Structure 1
Amino acid sequence: MGARDLFYRQHLDREEKKIGPSPSSGQAHQVKPKYFWGNDPESEEAYYASQNIRSTSSFFTSGSLSLFTRCWLPPESRPQRGLVLMIHGYGNDISWTFQSTPIFLAQNGYACYALDLPGHGRSQGLLKAFVPDLNAAIDHCIAYFNSVINLNYQQQQQQHLKCFLYGESMGGAICLLIHLLRRVEFSGAVLAAPMCKISDRIRPRWPIPSILSLLGRFMPTLPIVPTANLVEKSVKVEEKRAIASANPLSYLGKPRLGTVLELLRATDDLSSRLSDVTIPFLVLHGSADVVTDPEVSRDLYEKAKSEDKTVKIYEGMMHSLLFGETDSNVAMVRADILEWLNHRTNPN
């Protein structure tokens, strides 16, 4: 076991002792699947080969942190259409159900790259799912994405590939914040249920925010913020809820004080700057989403100065558009994403 794996294993053990098993995990002896697709194939390499894509993982050093990264690439026989740089949501990671989207895109010619945010998945961080400074997380994303862009430029000197951002939930907010920093130019962004504002339906009610702000000054890592079960509020299909809850790397405990206060700060700031957005974008949201607010996605579409912008609100769909819905609904959302990307990478 390498040093990074040992760090992760010790960190996960500490977290499990703190929060215990998830509510949906059942008894401790219950057998969970090894991967989000089950136990067959028995290795990731075999699964990727069965999906006709290539994938490798590595650790990227950013500042003092070692961050887990993965890429999903089309087969060598297929020319790449573009790059998609991807960011997962709060409490999630890139090694479980999140993979289903980059696998799909890689099958259709896109080279996809993602990292576990600090404190998430296999990446180092102060504590699991602790996000005390979203700007620091943004800096880590930019550092990794720049390395990917530079490497791709060296490898594809005869072909300049367009580069897109993709973010789910909190990852969608990070994509917009990266754009607003104007440090790197991107050809567009796909935003799946972006957390431009935390929905009032799960936002703590007054006077709880004032109390939390006071406590957060002294105990920012305390996981006591009262919120709804995010898996139940995000995933519509019951069988898929079980799969999402079985993720050994996700965080299912109560959000930490410092994290909630930082997300409230960042999303309030972002929702006030929607008119500054100029990047081409596709924003996707379910009308039944109670985690992030679909009305704010409509506001983004109305207020953004982007000349190329599209909004799609899916009637009756919930927060987890790319996994938690019925297979037919997931296929519909995937098709819309692929059509949008293909239209902007078509050489004609």
Structure 2
Amino acid sequence: MAVELRFPSSELSLFSQKCFAPINHRQNVRLPFTCPRKTTPESPMSWGSGHRLVVTAKKPPIDGVPAELNKIASQKLDSAPARRRVRSAFKELQQQLDHCLFKMAPAGIRTEEWYECNSRGLNIFCKRWFPESDVGIKGAVCFCHGYGDTCTFFFDGIARYIAASGYAVYAMDYPGFGLSEGLHGYIPSFDELVDDVIEQYKKFKGRPELNGLPHFILGQSMGGAVTLKIHLKEPKLWDGVVLVAPMCKIADDVKPPEPVLKLLKLMSHVVPKAKLLPNVDLGELAIRETNKRKLAVYNVISYGDRMRVKTAMELLKATDDIEKQVEKVSSPLLVLHGAADKVTDPQISRFLYEKASSKDKTLKLYEEGFHCILEGEPDERIFTVLNDIISWLDSRCSLT
């Protein structure tokens, strides 16, 4: 069951919910990410050669996977070529997993993968999904993935479902994530990452097959923050914004205290790439169904190690920036969130819904839903959320 709220709504209120653990000198820093993988206990932090702090989580073997594949999956994934080798080895196996997004994927969807060199000289992985050739295209949907995630695993099934309803779906992996070039899990500048996405998605929008069609952007978890920053930078770029469990504000009562922020800021300049923040396995919090939770380990190129210091600071800065400008969110807006999400707070989605200046805005909260409402819920719920997105897109296409 979904609770739907439409503009205007004067009865919404904010409630305090601790979706992040408070940060102090003796506690873990916990920031949101999507579909985490389980790792074995980490070794103590130690100084490596060149005075670089090195901490790496060991990945346990995947049950039921041949030793040769596990050997491939266990390699260091800092570089894009390594991640591409691992993805290539697991691509066929991933598509055979016992998950509704793979088992019930519509037939006849046309896909294409390629790399493009952006203005910063980075090779960016891109992918698109088109409906069958006899199905007319209603509009385009561009996707922004979550922290440590990629557009080549669960999203492939999501994109196929949306494409089957008559949409051209486009996605890219951010620099440092998935198959794109860059140090794995490293965000040196969130604003720069946003600019990279804007640059790439403007190229998509300019393709002749999309001429005259409405364009939408869909962001999940940290991708929600990316999407909001894109909209705030160029508010007229999209005909509608869809956010799934977005990371867009950190509750005031769980923000890091000022001394910790100062320490993190200093360390982000001294050892920006260091993996210092304790790793938290959020699988049980993010994915409600046990069987689907077990499949997350097959997302073999997701970033599941400790968060890098500079990355953590950039995420904090991004949410602060969004919070200060949330009233400027003016696009037609659909926000979807699991009501039981303990990774990103559904009450923050209420905050976004209340404060956004959009005249066309909808908030849907799904009872008992966890963070990964498009991947980790019962099959019926997953398709309910997907159909809610498609219905919203369809109604906006009819208005353009």
AA at the equivalent of 2:393: L
> 1:263 is matched with which residue?
315
User: In structure 1, which of residues 307, 310, 314 is the aligned counterpart of residue 359 of structure 2?
Assistant: 307
Deviates further, 194-203 or 142-151 = 194-203
Aligned CA distance change for structure 1 residues 304 and 120 (closer, same or farther; 3 Å): same
What is the letter of the counterpart of residue 155 of structure 1? E
* 1:199–1:290 CA contact under 8 A, matched in 2: no
Kindly state the Cα deviation for residue 95 of structure 1 after the two structures are TM-superposed: 0.7
2:326 aligned to which of 246, 249, 274? 274
Q: CA deviation at 1:102?
A: 1.0
Q: Give the 3 Å change call, closer, same or farther, for CA 258–297 of structure 1 in structure 2.
A: same
Of residues 228-237 and 88-97 in structure 1, the stretch that sits farther from structure 2 once superposed is: 228-237
In structure 2, do the counterparts of structure 1 residues 137 and 246 end up closer, same or farther at CA, with 3 Å as the change threshold? same
**Matching of residue 170 in structure 1 with residue 208 in structure 2:** no
Q: Is contact 2:69–2:90 with CA below 8 Å preserved after alignment? A: no
- The alignment status of 1:66 with 2:104, answered yes or no, reads no
Matches within 5 A, 1:1-348: 19-22=56-59, 25=62, 29=67, 34-35=90-91, 38=94, 40=96, 51-62=107-118, 63-125=120-182, 127-151=183-207, 154-155=208-209, 157=211, 160-182=212-234, 184-198=236-250, 208-346=260-398
Shift of residue 243, structure 1, vs aligned partner: 1.4
Q: 1:264–1:156: structure 2 CA closer, same or farther, 3 Å change rule? A: closer
The 3 A distance-change label for structure 1 pair 36 and 92 is: farther
Q: 1:150 Cα deviation (Å)?
A: 0.9
- 1:50-99: CA deviations, max 9, x gaps? 62210000001112100000001101110001100111011000111122
Contact 1:202 1:291 in 2 (8 A): no
C-alpha deviation, 1:293, in angstroms: 1.6
Offset, 1:185: 1.9
CA contact (8 A) 1:202 1:290 kept: no
Shift of 1:296: 1.3
CA contact (8 A) 2:55 2:274 kept: no
Distance 2:353 2:158 in 1: 23
Distance 1:307 1:262 in 2: 30
User: Shift of the alpha carbon at 1:283?
Assistant: 0.4
- Asked whether the 8 Å contact 1:66–1:123 carries over to 2, the reply is yes
Mean alpha-carbon deviation: is it higher for 212-221 or for 189-198? 212-221
Matched letter for residue 209 of structure 2: Q
DSSP 3-state at the match of 1:120: coil
Q: Percent identity?
A: 35
Instruction: Determine the C-alpha separation between the residues in 1 that align with 2:66 and 2:253.
Output: 32
User: TM-score, normalised on structure 1?
Assistant: 0.84
Contact 1:198 1:291 in 2 (8 A): no
* Aligned-residue offset at 1:212: 2.3
Aligned pairs, how many? 323
Deviation digits for residues 239-265 of structure 1, max 9, x if unmatched? Answer: 212211221210110111000011001
Counterpart residue type for residue 122 of structure 1: L
Instruction: Go from structure 1 to structure 2 and tell me whether the alpha carbon gap of 1:214 and 1:310 turns closer, same or farther (over 3 Å shift).
Output: same
| Distance in structure 2 (CA, Å) of the matches to 1:240 and 1:36 | 18
Unaligned runs of 5+ in 2: 1-53, 71-88
The 3 A distance-change label for structure 1 pair 171 and 327 is same
Paired residue secondary structure (2:186): coil
In terms of mean alpha carbon deviation, does 81-90 or 236-245 score higher?
Answer: 236-245
In 1, Cα distance between equivalents of 2:257 and 2:62:
29
1:5 matched residue in structure 2: none
Deviation at 1:28, TM superposition (A): 9.1
2:241 aligned counterpart, secondary structure: strand
> CA distance change for structure 1 residues 24 and 47 in 2, over 3 Å: closer, same or farther?
same
Q: CA deviation at 1:324?
A: 1.1
How much has 1:175 moved relative to structure 2? Answer: 0.9
Structure 1 gap ranges (5+) = 1-16
- Structure 1 residue 18: Cα displacement: 6.2
Between the two structures, name the one with larger relative contact order (CA 8 Å, sep ≥ 6).
2
**Does the CA contact (< 8 Å) of 1:204 and 1:226 recur in 2?**
no
The answer as to whether partners of 2:335 and 2:363 remain within 8 angstroms in 1 is yes
Q: Which segment is superposed worse, 284-293 or 206-215? A: 206-215
Instruction: Report if aligned partners of 2:105, 2:160 keep a CA contact under 8 Å in 1.
Output: no
TM-score relative to the length of structure 2: 0.74
Is the 8 Å Cα contact of residues 251 and 348 (structure 2) preserved in structure 1? no
Per the TM alignment, residue 47 of structure 1 is displaced from its structure 2 partner at its CA by 9.3
